Structure 1
Amino acid sequence: MHPDGQEALLHIMVNLGCLVVVWWSLQTFRFDVFVRNPEGAKAKVLMVFVTIAISYLVSSFFLDYLEKSLMLRYLF
């Protein structure tokens, strides 16, 4: 397997894993306090967008941390 392919697969898996964890954790958040119709389509789309945005930030943090920690071997 090509190293770029492995890296792409790792990124996809981390992104999907973070997406699942963020979606699961946001289920406890009370969106009904912030939206008028929490069962409506707009509220559902907002929930999806918030999930995607947070999971992107979380996965980017972990992937960047992994990349930088692997670069530490070139320090010495």
Structure 2
Amino acid sequence: MKGGFYKLYGIDAIVRIFSHFAFIYLTFWALQSLRVENLFKKGQQYYKQIRLIYVLFSIFIGYTVSNFFMEVMFLTRDLFQGFLS
């Protein structure tokens, strides 16, 4: 049975969900340090749209980075399981 204990108890899914949210949060936090005010239109009416772009961009980058790290982690786990069996 591929995955064994991890897939049986849903630990795989919990780790993935936690990883996605953690990387999305880290990306949002990191994007706050950029000065991108010059890229957007001036005015209070655009504030919500700018925030939405930050959130969507954070989700895109955070999800992609999380998938990369999860893939490396699971490939490494499978590699070691292959050596041990």
Query: What TM-score comes out, normalization by structure 2 length?
Result: 0.77
RMSD: 1.9
The gaps in structure 1 that reach 5 residues or longer are none
Query: What TM-score comes out, normalization by structure 1 length?
Result: 0.84
The gaps in structure 2 that reach 5 residues or longer are none
Larger radius of gyration: 2
Q: Classify 1:10/1:33 alpha carbon distance in 2 versus 1 (closer, same or farther; 3 Å).
A: same
Aligned residue number for residue 42 of structure 1:
49
Task: Give percent identity, aligned residues only.
Answer: 21
Question: Could you list the runs of 4 or more consecutive aligned residues of structure 1 that deviate by over 3 angstroms after TM superposition?
Answer: none
Aligned ranges 1:1-76 → 2 under 5 Å: 3-4=6-7, 5-37=10-42, 40-73=47-80, 74=82
In the comparison of the two structures, how many residue pairs are matched?
75
